[in-house]
Amino acid sequence: MGVLDIEVLLQTVGEYGPAVVGALAENARAVGCRVWSVHLWTDLHRVISPYPRRAAEGLDLFRRGIAASADLGAHWLVWHGPLAGEITTDDDWARFVATTVSLASEADAAGVGLTIENTSRHAVRGHREVARLASHLRDALPSARWGFTFDPFQAAEAGTNPFMTLAAMGDRLANVHLSDFRPGGDRHLLPGDGELPWPALLRAIGAAYRGPLILETPLAPDPVAAVAAVQTLLAPYLPQVGDRDPGHPGRPGNPCRGAPPPGVAEGIALFNDRQFYACHETIEHEWHAERGEIRRLYQGILQIGVGFHHALRGNGRGAISVLGDGVAKVARFTPTCLGIDTARLVHEAGTCLAALQTLGPTDVSAFDPATIPTIHPAPVLTDPIDEPGKA
């Protein structure tokens, strides 16, 4: 199947034992796979439980999980942390942090890094919890190996923004799970069977991560076909996970070189079809994914679209405000950028803005929709020394 790295999920107490761990190690060696990570079955580790015996037994089994990870040669140990309902006060949070520091230290001493995964049902759900935990762990464990496992499915299921969750992990992103999400659908769908924006997600992941991508989804009835389908879907975007300088997560060189990413191209098509709200939703994924200065161009285009959306719905005040912001942002990338005639867009959108300002917020119904511009293509810059406005 072309699988080089695997994550082992320990789901029963017996699977933590030396017989199962030894067999797993032997099987991995036999097929040439590396055990990249070990995933604990979190319900077995109620280490924050108010019941002392349950907490003690959970800690004991956790330590066996650390030992199993070391025996398997795993780089990382994946833990969900306590359930959300177990962390309801500042004292609960302090106890969680102290326990995590202790367990991360023990794992580090065994040569394994502890990672906490963002999950919908546990205490670390989204970017706020990730940032809060990271700030404590950075202070307590400045040199130890620890990090986060990013799961975009879990972020979507939790109702949080996966891009913001990923950004909060920063340079402590250690492991990545892949599965798709559809509201009301089955959990952990194959990538492509749900609604997650994979091109933008992989670009965001690639800005901070150089490790394997762990496919965490049911593969039955035909695992070979399932893996092949995912590889085919993601292949155009997988180079983005490894083609950047970690010290410069934005586009290398001139940010206006090349073509726009898929989400921006799709958003421009929606803009030109006058589907301005859909344009915003599509380009916003790319804006979240991009960490370099070019993200301001994406934001400017979507703001121009939102401005026209407001104008067509009679919100003159909103149209003038957002359209003005968008024109100003796109103007920073004239005359052309990413194969887009930005100068023409700025001029024509600016003309519409002036007309709206003349009409005033209360007379927006007199605005002529026929004057709304189309975003036009321009020659794509390919030479590394090319710059906008220069031959």
> From the CA atom positions of the chain, what is the Rg in Å?
24
Q: Find residue 340's DSSP bridge partners.
A: 337, 377
Look at residue 385 in the predicted model and tell me its pLDDT.
42
Is pLDDT above 80 for 245? no
pLDDT at 65 over 90: yes
211: which residues sit within 8 A by CB, 6+ positions away? 5, 36, 75, 174, 175, 176
User: Could you read off the pLDDT of 27-61 as tens digits, one per residue?
Assistant: 999 988 999 999 999 889 989 888 899 999 999 99
In the chain the first and final C-alpha atoms are separated, in Å, by 47
Q: Average per-residue pLDDT in the chain?
A: 91
Average pLDDT over every residue of 351-376? 96
Q: Is the pTM of this model over 0.85?
A: no
Q: What is the pLDDT of residues 117-165, one digit of tens each?
A: 999 999 999 999 999 999 999 999 998 999 999 999 999 999 999 999 9
d(CA 278, CA 280): 5
Instruction: List the domain boundaries for the chain.
Output: 5-241, 262-371
Per-residue model confidence as pLDDT tens digits over 168-180:
999 999 999 999 9
Asked if CATH classification 3.20.20.150 holds for the domain at 5-241, the reply, yes or no, is: yes
* Fold that domain 262-371 belongs to in CATH: Hyaluronidase domain-like (1.10.3450)
What pLDDT does 383 receive?
54
Query: What is the Cα–Cα distance from 145 to 137, expressed in whole angstroms?
Result: 11
In the DSSP assignment, the letter for residue 259 is P
Token pair belonging to 385:
């020394």
**Cβ neighbours of residue 137 closer than 8 Å, sequence gap 6 or more:** 97, 100, 101, 104, 146, 172
DSSP letters of 86-105?
A: G--SHHHHHHHHHHHHHHHH
For residue 360, give Cα distances in angstroms to 133, 166, 175, 315.
48, 41, 52, 11
Confidence of residue 11 (pLDDT cuts 50, 70, 90): very high
Does position 76 have pLDDT exceeding 50, yes or no? yes
pLDDT in tens, 311-326: 999 999 999 999 999 9
Q: What percent of the chain has pLDDT over 70?
A: 93
Residue 390 predicted with pLDDT over 80: no
- Reply yes or no on whether the pLDDT at 16 is more than 90: yes
